[in-house]
Structure 1
Amino acid sequence: MSSVALPAMSCRSSGEQVKEIRVCTNRTCRRQGSFQILETLTALAPPELRVTHCACLGRCGSGPNLVALPQGLILRHCATPSRAAEILFSLCGDGREASSSSAVTDALTALALTNNALSQIDAGNFSEAEALLTQALELKPYGGLHRIFKHRSVAKLGMLDYSGALEDISQALALAPNYSEPYICQGDVYVAKGQYDLAEKSYLTCLEIDPSLRRSKPFKVCFVFTLYLALKHRGPSLLRLASMSLAKMNAFSYNVII
């Protein structure tokens, strides 16, 4: 593996697409802030780029360290969100004419607005969150747009703007068809509208994309409740379908929902 300390423009210009970035979260890099770097890269990454954590990449103390795959390019001293955004733009920038510095500034500003909006959502201030996320989208950051649309759909759902929430979900899925989280929000919107059959389909699609959700208790509880309501509306005789669906996802037994 090659190793560099500065962003490697050659990866983007060579035509070989970066498919994955791994961030060392071993003890030394963790103390140097690698989890914050992991969060920043995840938030700003384009949909086709996988960002995950990994074990030690060597040369402890010169991190946090990253590796870009399949090139095997190791990038060191990625200690700040700004540095992470610069590296990400150099590896996976969208080819826009704007300079690297302006693109990175816009991306970091959009990220700050998004994080503020998420705090507002947690506090129940949905209209404030929606306004902040709209500002973030207007900056047109080079990555993470699909996540911002998803977050804004959550804010719109909290505002009871169901059509607006579904529009943002469609935007998120158009950018990232295999992004599972919008399907959860889509299901939540349909539940709020009383459209339980559609909610069931959304949750099942989400599960197909991300089978690991089978181990998520909140998701299983939500899915079971929605499935029960959907089958109840179709008729008592169809409740038997719940057992088949739940068996597929290794969730709860049929006795949980009847």
Structure 2
Amino acid sequence: MAVSFSSYGFQTASPVSWRRWRAAASTVEEVEIRVCVNRSCGRQGSREMLAVLSALAPTGIAVTSCGCLGRCGAGPNLAVLPAGFLVSHCGTASRAAQLLADLCGSAFDPQRNLEAFTLRKKGENELEKGNAAEAEALLSQAYVCQGDVFLARGEWDAAEKAYSTALQLDPSIRRSKSFKMAVQHQREGRRRRERRRRRTIAGDQPSSSGPHGLPAPVGAR
């Protein structure tokens, strides 16, 4: 049985509502995107959108399937919780990527994320055809793109893993100037993180010095 749109209490998403949502979302631990996979939306490509969103969604955004959200003629339909937004006509990968950009703001680059996803799918298709060399080249590019995505978000360890995988697939990228710069940026970011961590740990340690930096009396330590 279809559930009416109004019974969910959703509002149609708009640029203004997204800006208001991002401004108030700092305390939200996790966002959930529910993709309708009922008959009508399914025929309009919602299952493909479920796969795309699941592949692109960054940490903190869960993607799940759900039943009818109403507005069947405007599918594929998605619900964004806890914002309470309904997004209609989300039937292309670029639309799905833009939705995540609307949710995440500048932390999510829709073009770069979509490029990584597209290259990965092409690489997987070539692998299925038995074209190993073409598949490795495409997958290496996909991992470089994914590393750039992680780099932009400050996820240094994930970026390192992606770049390392790209290098294993295609060692020739080691000579690329842009790849060298990206790896250097990743290493510098990780070093900055480690320095901050050490300063935090040092700041939490109880002081063993007395006034004016002199050693504290034994009984005071």
Shorter-chain TM-score tier: 0.5 to 0.7
1:89 aligns with 2:98: no
Distance apart, 1:137 and its partner CA: 2.8
Tell me the distance in 2 between the aligned counterparts of 1:147 and 1:26: 37
CA contact (8 A) 2:113 2:146 kept: no
1:9 aligns with 2:15: no
Letter paired with 1:40? V
Matching residue of 1:117 = 123
Q: What is the RMSD computed on CA atoms of the aligned residues?
A: 3.6
Larger Rg: 2
CA contact (8 A) 1:4 1:74 kept: yes
C-alpha spacing 1:147/1:79, structure 2 compared with 1 (3 Å): farther
Tell me the distance in 2 between the aligned counterparts of 1:121 and 1:152: 20
Matching residue of 1:30 = 42
Give matches, 1:174-189, under 5 Å.
Answer: none
Tell me the distance in 2 between the aligned counterparts of 1:121 and 1:153: 16
Normalised by the length of structure 1, the TM-score is: 0.49
CA contact (8 A) 2:147 2:162 kept: no
Matching residue of 1:59 = 71
CA contact (8 A) 2:35 2:46 kept: yes
Distance apart, 1:57 and its partner CA: 0.7
C-alpha spacing 1:148/1:110, structure 2 compared with 1 (3 Å): farther
Tell me the distance in 2 between the aligned counterparts of 1:118 and 1:153: 15
1:79 aligns with 2:88: no
Distance apart, 1:108 and its partner CA: 1.6
CA contact (8 A) 1:23 1:52 kept: yes
Letter paired with 2:113? A
Give the percent of matched residue pairs that are identical in Structure 1 and Structure 2. Answer: 35
CA contact (8 A) 1:5 1:75 kept: yes
Tell me the distance in 2 between the aligned counterparts of 1:9 and 1:21: 17
Residue 74 of structure 2: SS of its match in structure 1?
Answer: coil
Tell me the distance in 2 between the aligned counterparts of 1:148 and 1:66: 33
1:8-34 CA-to-partner distances (Å, cap 9, x unmatched) read 232222125352111000011111111
1:180-230 CA-to-partner distances (Å, cap 9, x unmatched) read xxxxxxxxxxxxxxxxxxxxxxxxxxxxxxxxxxxxxxxxxxxxxxxxxxx
CA contact (8 A) 1:133 1:148 kept: no
Residue 140 of structure 1: SS of its match in structure 2?
Answer: helix
Residue 20 of structure 1: SS of its match in structure 2?
Answer: strand
Tell me the distance in 2 between the aligned counterparts of 1:155 and 1:31: 40
Residue 57 of structure 1: SS of its match in structure 2?
Answer: coil
Tell me the distance in 2 between the aligned counterparts of 1:56 and 1:65: 8
C-alpha spacing 1:28/1:155, structure 2 compared with 1 (3 Å): farther
1:90-133 CA-to-partner distances (Å, cap 9, x unmatched) read 1124x44xxx8xx3222222211121222344434463244222
**Gaps (5+ residues) in structure 1?**
160-170, 172-258
1:21-76 CA-to-partner distances (Å, cap 9, x unmatched) read 11000011111111121111111101222111110011211111111112322212
Tell me the distance in 2 between the aligned counterparts of 1:151 and 1:12: 30
Matching residue of 1:197 = none
Letter paired with 2:83? Q
CA contact (8 A) 2:140 2:165 kept: no
Letter paired with 1:46? P
CA contact (8 A) 2:119 2:139 kept: no
